[in-house]
Amino acid sequence: MEKIVSLCKRRGFVFPGSEIYGGITGFWDYGPLGVELKNNIKREWWKSMVYQRENIVGLDAAIVMNPQVWEASGHTKAFSDPLVECKKCHHRFRADQVKDSCPNCGGQFTEAKKFNLLTEVYLGVTEPKQKAYLRGEITQGVFVNFKNVIDSSRIDVPFGIAQIGKAFRNEITPGNFTFRSREFEQMELEFFVEPKDSEGEKWFAYWKKQRLDWYLNLGIKRENLRFREHAPNERAHYARKAEDIEYNSPFGWKEFEGVHHRGDWDLSRHKLTHDGYTPWVIETSGGVDRAALFFLLDAYFEDEKRVILKLHPHLAPYKVAVFPLVVNKEDIVKKAREIYLELKLKLNTVWDDRGNIGKRYYAQDEIGTPWCVTIDYESDSATVRDRDTAKQERVDISQLDSYFQKKLK
């Protein structure tokens, strides 16, 4: 884990939030490579969920909503974690994540208290200001727009509404790098079905498989993934059934996507119906930040010579790096720059002319760039090196674009 944290800071994936002022617990800034990785994850998710399906549409709801939304959904009362405090060192913990004594000093805990996770905000320029909340999940924005989507789209049950966006939770114990943060990004699908047990079971099973396959197709190893079903006493207040996709991380098996049977809880609480009945909802809810962390952990590889991030090419921040073999030959540098600028119009391409060619290769391996193009003394062809195998082949310069497009299919 320490190696990933170091790589993320050193190579520009993730920085501590407002670091020059000492940081702030539970908040992270994504650097040049981190934002590309996250954008690629979101792009792949959106393509899979919306562009490749006929019965799913997208939405981008507001972060701040009328507080009555959270009262109706039950979040103002039930969206909470149990909090305990050590009587000796006064550190606070989630009661469901510690045993009988403080892991820091061995002290005894206070009685557990419920701690609401919604983050309050106050709006307006004069007193009294209006109390509202930063959304604790992005889901409710879908439900309050259910009728708007139905009325404005030619779509009918069964159908889904997909959304990607920021959420905020007043976490008691943020930690494990970006895994548990107070500001995070979610990618969620709310899929509406007829209120029949057979429909609920069918679509729950369908979305479980779809979501697991998505992670596998993007390169996460099968042995590092599993489903875990929630016991009745640990389900969220809205869930009839819930299963998590968990990753075998350095800090244990941890959830990063949930599949939930929400029944008619949300639409009925908001008093919304369709054609005389209240649809049930099957939800898939994944964390963008957690997915990014686990893709990085799963892709990290070391041998005796180099560190490699074996990211799927669709997720890699840069697809191609272009180098001149030598930097003191003006004609080679000029040709390399021309090829770089041409490729950059179609692929996220990076230029590198620092150090010797071997160091450039290793630097690109470490950030996950799948292919490196070296321009040398040959006028019509270039050397293309593969990240994972380190094998090289000659490719006609005129064919470079089509070569990479085929690789990325």
DSSP state of 108: B
* Statement to judge: residues 327 and 359 lie in one domain: yes
In a domain, 308, yes or no: no
Between CA 381 and CA 397 the distance in angstroms is 5
* Statement to judge: residues 246 and 349 lie in one domain: no
- Give 80's strand partners: 116
Final residue belonging to a domain, choices 264, 298, 332: 298
In a domain, 71, yes or no: no
* Statement to judge: residues 214 and 239 lie in one domain: yes
Which burial class, exposed, middle or buried, applies to 320 when counting CB atoms under 10 A from its CB (0-12, 13-18, 19+)? buried
Question: Does the bond joining 128 to the residue before it have cis omega, within 30 degrees of 0?
Answer: yes
Final residue belonging to a domain, choices 237, 266, 298: 298
What is the pLDDT at residue 241? Answer: 95
In a domain, 73, yes or no: no
Final residue belonging to a domain, choices 266, 298, 330: 298
What is the pLDDT at residue 185? Answer: 98
Q: What is the CATH number of the domain that holds 191?
A: 3.30.930.10
* Statement to judge: residues 18 and 134 lie in one domain: yes
SS3 of 23, please?
coil
CA dist list (Å): 191 to 157, 160, 231, 274, 391: 9, 4, 23, 14, 45
The model's pLDDT over 65-115, given as tens digits with 9 standing for 90+, comes to 999 999 999 898 878 778 888 999 988 888 888 888 998 899 999 988 887
Between CA 339 and CA 324 the distance in angstroms is 10
Query: What is the share, in percent, of the chain residues with pLDDT greater than 70?
Result: 100
* Statement to judge: residues 205 and 127 lie in one domain: yes
Which residue bears the tokens 């029944």? Answer: 263
In a domain, 260, yes or no: yes
The model's pLDDT over 289-325, given as tens digits with 9 standing for 90+, comes to 999 999 999 999 998 889 999 999 999 999 999 999 9
**pLDDT top residue among 279 and 232:** 279
- The CA-to-CA distance between both ends of the chain, in Å, stands at 32
Is the model's pLDDT at 166 over the cut of 90?
yes
Entry field: residues in the chain: 409
* Statement to judge: residues 47 and 94 lie in one domain: no
* Statement to judge: residues 249 and 393 lie in one domain: no
Query: What is the share, in percent, of the chain residues with pLDDT greater than 90?
Result: 86
Which residue bears the tokens 């470079």? Answer: 400
The model's pLDDT over 216-230, given as tens digits with 9 standing for 90+, comes to 999 999 999 999 999
In a domain, 392, yes or no: yes
Q: What is the CATH number of the domain that holds 370?
A: 3.40.50.800
DSSP state of 48: I
* Statement to judge: residues 153 and 244 lie in one domain: yes
In a domain, 75, yes or no: no
SS3 of 187, please?
strand
Structural domain tally of the chain?
3
Q: Identify residue 219 by its one-letter amino acid code.
A: G
- Split at pLDDT 50, 70, 90, the class of 5 is very high
What domain range is 109 assigned to? 80-116
Closest of 342, 325, 331, 333 to residue 397, by C-alpha: 342
Q: Identify residue 396 by its one-letter amino acid code.
A: D
* Statement to judge: residues 271 and 347 lie in one domain: no
In a domain, 268, yes or no: yes
* Statement to judge: residues 178 and 108 lie in one domain: no
What is the pLDDT at residue 110? Answer: 92
* Statement to judge: residues 276 and 367 lie in one domain: no
CB within 8 Å of 344: residues ≥ 6 apart: none
In a domain, 341, yes or no: yes
* Statement to judge: residues 351 and 209 lie in one domain: no
